Structure 1
């Protein structure tokens, strides 16, 4: 009897001891969490973008990833400027990806519904990249960038989602992020700082056919502001900076446009020097640099009056992205009365022309393809897929789809 009582006491003492130890462990964890939490920073995964995720690797659900408690491995960190929060920053590894991507507007980047939809589309198909507006055609910014000029001029920005959390989600799914930065078509900067704007002969601000003002491509302050936006995008974690509207204007009353800062250089040389400057300034950030050009640049011999000469631009960037939209070719181009009705032939011929100009140069040609309707016929899965096939048949393996409203033809995409 005494022996049984003694055994019960020993078991009771052990239970009490375990409870005390467990309580101490919980308390220690709570203290650790309390002191660790203020040091929380987003961190990025190992950037091996050969696939969306390693075989057999389980990724959290889309919405769950919006919870900051879902952390990625701490191998590499990036600085995020959203909400004024900054962490220690260092460049990420520079690793190339064979891009199959979509365009995402700044508004979509800041809309939970659209952002999650487009991320889901990339995550469930052959796609692996998103080209996201960081400075759009209106000059609006897509995040709270630490740029004095933008603050002083109160440049408008799209608001909504937390940019840092968006980037974390892209990295968690191994989606390659490319920042689209519109360069010389910048109505916001031109209107708020008119001394940088193109002028009419009477001294007033010149505007294009859509009544939008442009800044002078010759002006170094414009170059610096553009590169400041690119730097901030790189610090957010974008792996490539893509410059769009890196050209002189092409429509409106071109006979009455005055370039206040013209220095006698050819337009094509002004564009070339800007791209060289931007690429050099971005070298410390380990990002790729690309430039969007008119599709016609692959077949024309001159700069078309806008400063875009394929052979020159390709020497200053890692990727050159001709917009070979069939609807943008005219009657007789590639011997077609209606090039828009021949998406395969137009895209293939345009890219073959580009490859001839490229020669042995290390630049990579990555075309923008048409996923929108302009003229006849209307584009569906067959027309979009024909352009993708033409890209492959021309010997290229990268492409991006464009739809300004982010409404893509899902039926044209192969499942993952």
Structure 2
């Protein structure tokens, strides 16, 4: 029993439904290679008359954008080989006014009666130009956002580098050292040495030759210090003429950490003591080093930096061009000196100091001069006489 054949009313109703949906119905004869029913609405939108379109597929192929032809061919092959349930493609067609307009095609082969051997390729075309324009605008915005994000990342990286880099020497700065030290004491690092390196009499160089020469000297010092450490170690400028080295003993070096650090200190002092050629000047500068070891000398960043600084103070006080490792007695001595200075200032206000004069005589006991003595009447304590140096520099 044959299925009822569609009537002209059925075709009209289908055409009405398709047009109401904004679709343009078309039909091609694959055997003859002709257009049985052209996509009339589409070609009218593009400005072509039906006479120009004709019934050949060549006209449609001629106005397809060259860049879209491969995608159409791929879709047709996928459908013909059974890898797709129907034919779908999107492409641009050239309007009579020279503008390219986006369309989409959905189609399927409908087989006719066996005796006719006819293959009907039926589908719909519809305008997707607005959607494509929105997609292209969105893609443009996304590309712009992506570019801006890349620029923002570059700026952030640049700012991060600036925030951790000394602008003069291009070494790390105080912030970078503190961040590395925080990681070290939090358990992410092995035993290490913290060296504070300070140039001796740097102010004198600035005063004699000017700050430009001083800046060049600091840059040359930075280069020399870099030659003294391994690539895994850290070197930074803490500020002024003070540099910091954070050093870990190499894995292939079996010496104790302190012994290895002593060799580094000796090398640093030797390198810094070499003359500096700055223009026509030959400048000499030396360094002093204070060292503290992690974890022996402290488990916090504040402890380590304070104790390395104390060791540096002692190295300078003991003659400069020296290195000293932190010892607990250094901190005790500084605390005692600080306590004495504070109490002496209080003694001045409370009149605990008495000025005495003692005659100086020669071998024949003849008076030759007078020396002044300052007696401190400290309440309840006679042990204050155990200090000899001046508690603060004379002016």
User: Structure 2-normalised TM-score?
Assistant: 0.23
Structure with larger RCO (C-alpha < 8 A, sep 6+)? 1
For the pair shown, which has the larger CA radius of gyration, 1 or 2?
Answer: 2
Looking at secondary structure, tell me which structure has more strand per residue. Answer: 2
